[in-house]
Structure 1
Amino acid sequence: MAKKRIGFGIFLILFCTIAYIMTYSIPQRVQMEVSAAFFPRVVLIALAVSALLVIIGGLKEYRLEKVQIKKEEKGEFHYKLLVLSLINCLGYGILLKPLGFVFTSSVFLILQMWLMTADITKKIFIRNTILSITVVVALYVLFTTVFYVPLP
């Protein structure tokens, strides 16, 4: 598990680096005090710091695993879940522009939470649906009214 955390942290830092470089292609508006690229850069820096913390935690865990040789129970890998998640991500990317941010993001989050929840009940599904819609609407309001960043 420690190696997976370290690998994920490295992947996340590489992703943040590439995405940060891509923020320089965001068009600048002359009237604004803060450019449209400001908030994505802040988020990417915070994500990179979080990834660094994941790597540090993974290294600590790896040292503990070396000291205490223990048998790990290996759970079965759910390929079906992986494929469905990838299809969900692909559908999100394709439908984002034609259907808009609020609807597509809400549906994406609802489906992803449904996929990731092992024992889903009606109560959990309703809670996840309300949470998904609330988060997406809050992000939309934040970006459009506070940061003046238009979302699709």
Structure 2
Amino acid sequence: MLYKRAQTAILTLTAAVLLPAAPAAVFLSAAPAAAAPSLLPAGQARMILLERSGGFAGERTSFVVDRTTVGGRPALRMAGSRAFQQLRRSYQPRNPCCDRYAYRVTVTYRLGYRKTVETVQGTNAPHVLWDVINQSERYGVRPFTPRTATP
């Protein structure tokens, strides 16, 4: 599969150099969708950090999903998808009332690229965002946070 992607990328670059007047979309649309190289800079998701805050009690909780997280691979696949990578930075409700959870999803991709998306519980946001949030809450590991000593 890696060989096929590399071959497609080389062919696309060669065609673009030899025929500079033709738009790049012509070369990409000629290849099958499965073999087309990713045009997004991020690629494969390496880690998801979900920060959840608010609600009635005003709590703050974090969840981490990476390649070692049991059950975390579907969330990483969704976070690496084109649909997720094309999300806006923020999806906010029209009416900011009530005690809702606020979510900040930060995905780290290979080569260090990061994408952060923020939303609030009950907001009309794309399904892929809610799927990543739900999977991260379900399978994510809560990082250790030391408690401060009370005298």
- TM-score, normalization by structure 2: 0.24
More helix, by proportion: 1
- TM-score, normalization by structure 1: 0.24
More strand, by proportion: 2
Greater relative contact order, per chain length (Cα 8 Å cut-off, separation 6+): 2
